Structure 1
Amino acid sequence: MIAAIAIFSLLFAFTSNRNNSRKIKASVIVFEGDSSLFITKEEVNKLLIQNQTSVTDVTKDALDLNNMESLLLRNKMIKDAEVYMTIDGELKVNVTQRKPLARVVGTRSFYIDDEGEEMPLSGNYTARVPLINGQVTNENKQEIFKVLKKITSDNFLKVSVIGISVQKNDFTLRMRANNFKVKLGSADGLDLKFKKLKAFYQKAVKDKSLDTYSWVNLKFSNQVVCTKK
């Protein structure tokens, strides 16, 4: 029995060492969720390669999977990454990209992502999201994010709002289909304000009067104040 155990241990050690010394067959990169590529597979491969010409030139025991994940997560386009080996010797890389909600334009341009953080622009893809101009600062970033979350979570607003102008904590919306602007005011009471906007739209569509207005003001608590052209 002792001899059998010894032989088994030697065989296991030999097999394990031989398996670890094998080179990687291939790397498979999968982008989770949105198919819009702010970072390409080639760029992900470059992050993985580092000093090697290819990950397939590396043996299994030379791979540091945790380090690979850390390198990917340092890229500002990547929200999450998982790197692991499959049984058949492939290196599997699952990448989740960050998701932009709006694009700030001005002297410094960047996206605001779905966690309210700055996200750099990509040379590979431009997201079709509302444009934000005006005073975007660290002080009002949370208020801007609050407005963006409300807009992107509502089907009507997500399709209709194409731009946001910011002056401190005062917001003005630009609409897609009609040539008027919406004075939103502060980020307080957004549910009621957008409820009033939808009610106004329904009535104006019925009256065929949407194109007769230049401003729609939602700042007042119990009414919608409109300015005609």
Structure 2
Amino acid sequence: MKNKWRILKILVTVILFGFLLSFSLKRFNNARMENVSINMNQGKTPVYFIDEKDIKDLVKQYNPTKKIGDVKIPELETKINENPFVDSANVFMNLNGNLNIDIKQRVPVFRLSKKGKDFYVDEKGVEFPISKNFSYPCMLVMGDVEASEYQELGRLIEKIDKDDFCKKYFIGIKKEKGGYNLLTSDGHFKVELGDLENIDFKVQGFKTFVEKYLVYQNPQKYKKVSVKYNNQIVTTLNPYFKDNDSMLRNAPKIEIVKTEEKPVQLLAATPVKTEATPEPKKEAKKADVKKESTKPKTTEKKSPPKKSTEKKKETSSKPSSDKKKKAKVIVE
């Protein structure tokens, strides 16, 4: 009998508890939703792509009656996650009947201009559009960058942002002919990186170039500084810089004159020796021939070798001028 009474008591308590629970749940579901709390989880760099008003409008769509029991929490959560500016979202209801929404927005690493379209790329390599309400200051990247390079390119930009030296010099990245170039703020030159391998070593090479050479020169002197080669820095001069213009034009001329003067002197010296030796013979002939009066004939015979020497000089000078013209084209 005692066991029966115990079982009966348990059954009665369970029924009463179930009745009270159903009654409280029904009352709770029919209650009006008092508050909607939206928490935008911000990191070190705050972003404002999403407005709280937009999220509240979504809540109204999924709860038109404003009752707690009519809120479709799973559907609302998936809808918020479909927003391209949202990295992750969590929607839940507390015991007080308040709806809580935690949202983490995407943070751009760089802005990519590709095939006439502009969009952001986050640290995960996900593309998302540019917002009309908010513009995030980040590195601008131009060129046909492949999606597989997004994360590696993001790591390069992260290193630039953390380094005060790089952050001062580099303002953009451009991909040209399969290689990357860093655009600088000081001067009109660009830094050629090549591929994205050994980035630390390449950036360190540019630092040494700036500290040892560029500090004492005008940055506009250079058009390009290449650090893509191993243990080597190659610079290209700016042809529109005034000092470079004189240097590019005068330096090759000096080298060409030095190499061309020697053969010209040799060609001019050989006929002089032949003319110097027969001079005594000419005087003797003149003494003997005075009686015969054949002076015009001797002059006619002597004139052709002089013309030949002049032709030799002319022919020797012509190739030098032609060579000078070719060298100018190569230098330019």
Q: What TM-score range do you get, normalising by the shorter chain?
A: 0.7 to 0.9
* Change over 3 Å in CA distance of 1:109–1:133 after alignment to 2: same
* Change over 3 Å in CA distance of 1:158–1:113 after alignment to 2: farther
Q: Match of 1:62?
A: 70
Work out the CA distance in 2 between the residues paired with 1:172 and 1:127: 23
When structure 1 is superposed on structure 2, of 29-38 and 120-129 the one drifting more is 29-38
* Change over 3 Å in CA distance of 1:204–1:90 after alignment to 2: farther
Q: Match of 1:147?
A: 153
* Change over 3 Å in CA distance of 1:68–1:204 after alignment to 2: farther
Q: Gaps spanning 5+ residues in structure 1: where? A: none
Q: Match of 1:161?
A: 170
Q: Deviations over 1:123-156 (max 9, x none)?
A: 11111111122223xxx23235412322214412
| Counterpart among 95, 111, 114 of residue 103 in structure 1 | 111
* Change over 3 Å in CA distance of 1:142–1:94 after alignment to 2: same
Larger Rg: 2
Is the 8 Å Cα contact of residues 151 and 158 (structure 1) preserved in structure 2? no
| Counterpart among 171, 192, 202 of residue 193 in structure 1 | 202
Residues 109-124 of structure 1 aligned to structure 2 (within 5 Å)? 109-124=118-133
* Change over 3 Å in CA distance of 1:201–1:18 after alignment to 2: farther
Is the 8 Å Cα contact of residues 91 and 99 (structure 2) preserved in structure 1? yes
* Change over 3 Å in CA distance of 1:167–1:179 after alignment to 2: closer
Work out the CA distance in 1 between the residues paired with 2:96 and 2:213: 63
Work out the CA distance in 1 between the residues paired with 2:66 and 2:168: 48
Work out the CA distance in 2 between the residues paired with 1:6 and 1:144: 61
| Counterpart among 206, 224, 243 of residue 215 in structure 1 | 224
Q: Gaps spanning 5+ residues in structure 2: where? A: 1-8, 239-332
SS at match of 2:173: strand
SS at match of 1:123: coil
| Counterpart among 92, 105, 109 of residue 84 in structure 1 | 92
Task: Give identity over the alignment, percent.
Answer: 26
Which is strand-richer, 1 or 2? 1
Higher relative contact order (CA 8 A, sep 6+): 1
When structure 1 is superposed on structure 2, of 5-14 and 122-131 the one drifting more is 5-14
TM-score, normalised on structure 1? 0.85
Work out the CA distance in 2 between the residues paired with 1:32 and 1:125: 17
TM-score, normalised on structure 2? 0.60
Work out the CA distance in 2 between the residues paired with 1:67 and 1:159: 47
* Change over 3 Å in CA distance of 1:142–1:201 after alignment to 2: farther
When structure 1 is superposed on structure 2, of 66-75 and 210-219 the one drifting more is 210-219
Q: Deviations over 1:40-61 (max 9, x none)?
A: 11122223332655xxx42222
Work out the CA distance in 1 between the residues paired with 2:169 and 2:157: 9
* Change over 3 Å in CA distance of 1:190–1:52 after alignment to 2: same
Which is helix-richer, 1 or 2? 2
Q: CA offset at residue 38 of structure 1? A: 0.9
1:222 aligned partner, one-letter code: N
Work out the CA distance in 1 between the residues paired with 2:168 and 2:58: 36
2:61 aligned partner, one-letter code: Q
2:133 aligned partner, one-letter code: N
* Change over 3 Å in CA distance of 1:160–1:60 after alignment to 2: farther
Work out the CA distance in 1 between the residues paired with 2:205 and 2:218: 15
* Change over 3 Å in CA distance of 1:5–1:48 after alignment to 2: closer
2:153 aligned partner, one-letter code: V
Is the 8 Å Cα contact of residues 134 and 165 (structure 1) preserved in structure 2? yes
Is the 8 Å Cα contact of residues 88 and 105 (structure 2) preserved in structure 1? yes
Work out the CA distance in 2 between the residues paired with 1:210 and 1:151: 27
1:115 aligned partner, one-letter code: K
Work out the CA distance in 1 between the residues paired with 2:55 and 2:216: 52
Work out the CA distance in 1 between the residues paired with 2:13 and 2:148: 67
Work out the CA distance in 2 between the residues paired with 1:52 and 1:7: 32
Work out the CA distance in 2 between the residues paired with 1:82 and 1:168: 44
Q: CA offset at residue 62 of structure 1? A: 1.6
**1:47 pairs with 2:58:** yes
SS at match of 1:150: helix
Is the 8 Å Cα contact of residues 83 and 91 (structure 1) preserved in structure 2? yes
**1:27 pairs with 2:36:** yes
